[in-house]
Structure 1
Amino acid sequence: MKKLFTTLSNIWKIEDLRVRILNTLLFLLIYRIGSFITLPGVNPLALESQQKAGILGLLNMFAGGSFSRASIFALGVMPYISASIVVQLLGIAIPYFQKMQKEGESGRKKLNQITRYLTVVITFVQGAAYARTQIPVEAKVLGEPWFTVATMVILTAGTLFVMWLGEKITDKGIGNGISLIIMVGIIAQLPAGIISEFQSRLGNGGIIAFIVELIALFFIVVFTILIVQGVRKIPVQYAKKIVGNKQYGGVRQYIPLKVNAAGVMPIIFAQAIMFIPATVGQFFPSAQGSFLTSLSNYTSVAYNVTFAILIIAFTFFYTAITVNPVQMSDDMKKNGGFIPGVKPGATTGEYIDAVISKITLPGAVFLAIIAILPSIANVLGINSQFAHFYGGTSLLILVGVVLDTLQQVESHLLMRHYDGLMKTGRLRGRTPIASGTGAAGSTI
């Protein structure tokens, strides 16, 4: 405990780190204040206070409750996330975007510009749909079509402002700004979920059950951290080179292959597909059957089995398109590196590919288990508002963002010869080398 307080005091002593943390807190505070500002032309007293469910509940959680409050930040950064995913997929399928991905910094700037333009288009469309479907008629003060037009413009400006806040956090703060904004929105829903669950257990006389739920949540978080942090380290030896009186190379490094290299993307893709049955059922009521109805119910066995299978399939798919063993082996060969006991070149690529296939299967299964845990928790009687934190996208984002931010804080401490907050991942005499990727990484 004393060492922890010493480390925290060291963080405050470093001026650059202190300023970055204060900037981050300030920008996040501005975002949270804006999430409570209601859209002009909307009577907040006439808004429905019912809990959002399905994809709307997911959007409301990512937006920190702004979606249900009809805030100027109601759409949050989700249009930007959607645009980023579309651009990533275009980079896989279209050669023009693949070329830009390989152009380095100039290509990255072009892709960012395209992503911003696409974000404006998506926000305009979603803003119109939000004004038409999510705000009741009795809450609208302005008449149509002026209300829809004004809402589209304001929501677009709000999303762009949130994007700007995220970029400022990344530049002048600590951590990834967009990810931190999403994380803060998710955490903002946690107190209400805990209070709601406590009140429901208190009414049923189940305080012990509530304590057991908190303990179970703690172990689930620990389990998720193990999945997110888990890596398979492949040793790489570099040949010695003598130039003049100095020796270069000869150092053993390693390639850290993550057990869950796909992150939360498989869950996002699988969830998008699982919303199709419910959408088909709404537009074509006659097509509803027993199986289609069960696929629309996220607590049913058919839904969870199908969801888990899709996650496993998308994990293999996304890992295959983002991790390129051939590129990794070529990079090692160019730099005079080799894996002990494995021939350089094509054999090295096959070896890395085999290792990736072996570690991806357990990673995909564990990811599927984490994804269906909220449904299991809901079936066991846990309030749906609190069950969201037992797994799924929200828990993975929370764990991933917190670990990434802590690692950045630790890097600032280690650069100034202070003890870090995290002790894992550092081996004496062995340093990690980046693994090659074939596509841009996820924003989340």
Structure 2
Amino acid sequence: MLLTRVFTMPDVRRRLLVTLLAVLLFRLGQHLPLPGVDVTAVAAADRPDGRLPGLLDLLTGGGLANLSVFAFGVLPMIAAHWVLVLGGILLPRLRAAAEAGRAGEALLARHARYVAVLLGAGSAVLVVRMAVDGRPPLAGAGTDVLRDTGALTQITLVACLTAGTAAVLWLSATITHRGFGEGLSLLLLAQVAAVFPGQVREVARAHGGWAGAVAPLALLLALALATALVVTVRHSARRVPVQYAKRMIGRRAYGGTTAYVPIHGGRGGFDAMLLGSLLLLLPAPPTPWLVAAYALVVLVGVFLRGALGFDAVGIADRMKRQGGFVPGIRSGRPTAEYLSYVHLRVTLAGAVATTLAALLLAGVLALPGLHAPGAALGVTTLVVVVRLGVDTVLPTARQIGSRIRRPELPPLRGPGGRGERTAT
């Protein structure tokens, strides 16, 4: 019934068509070759093995290896986001804009677009120079993929790649404002969905036998378990009850209600998992010490992110000013100590659960069908896949469901007091 309502509601149908058309144009641009590129030579070029080239191919959707118009995919947008994050730490103006509400968000979004285009232009110059020198990205040295290496051709290629980055920015903004979901995440999901199954298939074909058949199934099971564990940790919370005293203001009574202070654990787990997985981006098999360092980075990163993001003293003072108290705990400093104690336990539990999910992804790659020095699959790739499942698929599905199930407008009241329902 919900599926039929998707196609019968005009607003939902229009947004869904805009999203699908934008993704289709994005994937078409990642297959459209640049002018002057020899498609036959690109297809026949030897691709380097290893987890780092596989991750780069995943983040560009195969466009960089094919030297397409959208060669960089959403990679400049991701890099621009991290540039602004680091800039917010160093530049007070960016830090103030991040705390200024919607106006600051609009300013940061505009700066992010400028930075993304500049990064795309700089990357275009680098890629074109590599192709001219016979060293195109994700291809072996000595590969001649350009029919002409003149100055005009190089300028044209740089202009096309820069324009492709700007076009990807426009498609992302179109999905965000007129479609479903967040544009950057959905385009990244389209890239991963196009490249990741092929990487799994290549690994299974390289080993063959029972290992090649069982290992992909075990990989899918580990991804599902890790996703379920991360979702459970992120959405779970310890709700501390808060009782507000009853007050009389004039003839009316206020307060006397019960509220809750939600304490979450495991926030910022994906950032720690991505940071720790960089230790495993090596062509050699990961050693036990390297895996232990990876787990320690995830555990400490998630714990510190949760511990530093909770102000127990501020919450206790605000509760005291509003006449609230935790049953059985005195207001003021005892309440702050109790909230800190609860938050410490919840944060530690969330950090341990996130570390188990990270080790699950690292452990599945040790299977015979997936454990190979030249395999394209790595822990970073699996972390990206899990993050897209949590931060893209689930929010988009909730957004579509909320628009399908939204309640009807209340009936309008006429002069006679009778309600008349009008079509919207």
Tell me if both proteins adopt one fold, taking TM over 0.5 as the criterion. Answer: yes
Q: TM-score normalised to the size of structure 1?
A: 0.74
Q: Is the 8 A contact 2:229 2:357 kept in 1?
A: no
> Structure 2 matches for 1:312-331, cutoff 5 A?
312-320=299-307, 322-325=309-312, 328=315
For the pair 1:262 / 2:302, whether they are aligned, the reply is no
For the pair 1:311 / 2:298, whether they are aligned, the reply is yes
SS of the residue corresponding to residue 144 of structure 2 reads: helix
- C-alpha change, 1:160 and 1:22, in structure 2 (3 Å) is same
Aligned equivalent of 1:184: 190
Of residues 321, 332, 342, the one that matches 1:355 is: 342
Aligned equivalent of 1:172: 178
For the pair 1:50 / 2:51, whether they are aligned, the reply is no
Matched residues in 2 for 1:20 and 1:242: separation?
50
Aligned equivalent of 1:300: 287
Matched residues in 1 for 2:271 and 2:323: separation?
34
Aligned equivalent of 1:284: none
Of residues 341, 345, 370, the one that matches 2:357 is: 370
Matched residues in 2 for 1:94 and 1:329: separation?
32
> Structure 2 matches for 1:129-168, cutoff 5 A?
129-131=126-128, 132=130, 134-135=136-137, 137-143=143-149, 146=152, 148-168=154-174
- C-alpha change, 1:204 and 1:103, in structure 2 (3 Å) is closer
Q: Is the 8 A contact 1:72 1:154 kept in 2?
A: yes
Aligned equivalent of 1:395: 386
Of residues 394, 401, 407, the one that matches 1:410 is: 401
Partner amino acid, structure 2, of 1:157: A
For the pair 1:28 / 2:38, whether they are aligned, the reply is no
Deviation at 1:210, TM superposition (A): 5.5
> Structure 2 matches for 1:31-110, cutoff 5 A?
31-47=26-42, 48-50=45-47, 53-110=50-107
Aligned equivalent of 1:225: 231
Matched residues in 1 for 2:348 and 2:116: separation?
34
SS of the residue corresponding to residue 16 of structure 2 reads: helix
Matched residues in 2 for 1:122 and 1:10: separation?
42
- C-alpha change, 1:19 and 1:343, in structure 2 (3 Å) is farther
Q: Is the 8 A contact 2:58 2:196 kept in 1?
A: no
Aligned equivalent of 2:13: 18
Matched residues in 2 for 1:242 and 1:12: separation?
54
Post-superposition Cα deviations, 1:349-384, rounded to whole Å, max 9, x if no partner, equal: 554444333233333333334335444333212344
SS of the residue corresponding to residue 232 of structure 1 reads: strand
Which range moved further: 169-178 or 111-120? Answer: 111-120
Deviation at 1:172, TM superposition (A): 1.0
Partner amino acid, structure 1, of 2:123: Q
Which structure: larger Rg?
2
Post-superposition Cα deviations, 1:17-45, rounded to whole Å, max 9, x if no partner, equal: 23222221121111111111122232222
Partner amino acid, structure 2, of 1:182: L
Aligned equivalent of 2:118: 121
Q: Is the 8 A contact 2:61 2:191 kept in 1?
A: yes
Partner amino acid, structure 1, of 2:88: G
Structure 1, gaps ≥5 residues long: 1-5, 279-294, 418-444
Deviation at 1:219, TM superposition (A): 3.6
- C-alpha change, 1:391 and 1:143, in structure 2 (3 Å) is closer
Structure 2, gaps ≥5 residues long: 409-424
Matched residues in 1 for 2:199 and 2:262: separation?
37
Q: How many aligned positions are there?
A: 393
Matched residues in 1 for 2:258 and 2:10: separation?
36
Q: Is the 8 A contact 2:16 2:179 kept in 1?
A: yes
Matched residues in 2 for 1:78 and 1:324: separation?
35
Q: Is the 8 A contact 1:227 1:366 kept in 2?
A: yes
Matched residues in 2 for 1:382 and 1:34: separation?
34
Partner amino acid, structure 2, of 1:359: V
Matched residues in 2 for 1:359 and 1:375: separation?
25
Q: Is the 8 A contact 1:373 1:391 kept in 2?
A: no
- C-alpha change, 1:296 and 1:339, in structure 2 (3 Å) is farther
Matched residues in 2 for 1:44 and 1:346: separation?
70
Matched residues in 2 for 1:71 and 1:332: separation?
57
Partner amino acid, structure 2, of 1:301: P
SS of the residue corresponding to residue 50 of structure 1 reads: coil
Q: CA RMSD in A?
A: 3.6
Aligned equivalent of 2:108: 111
Matched residues in 2 for 1:144 and 1:41: separation?
11
Aligned equivalent of 1:281: none
Q: Is the 8 A contact 2:226 2:361 kept in 1?
A: no
Post-superposition Cα deviations, 1:259-317, rounded to whole Å, max 9, x if no partner, equal: 32104222333345x38xx8xxxxxxxxxxxxxxxx76353333322222222233234
- C-alpha change, 1:148 and 1:270, in structure 2 (3 Å) is farther
Which range moved further: 161-170 or 253-262? Answer: 253-262
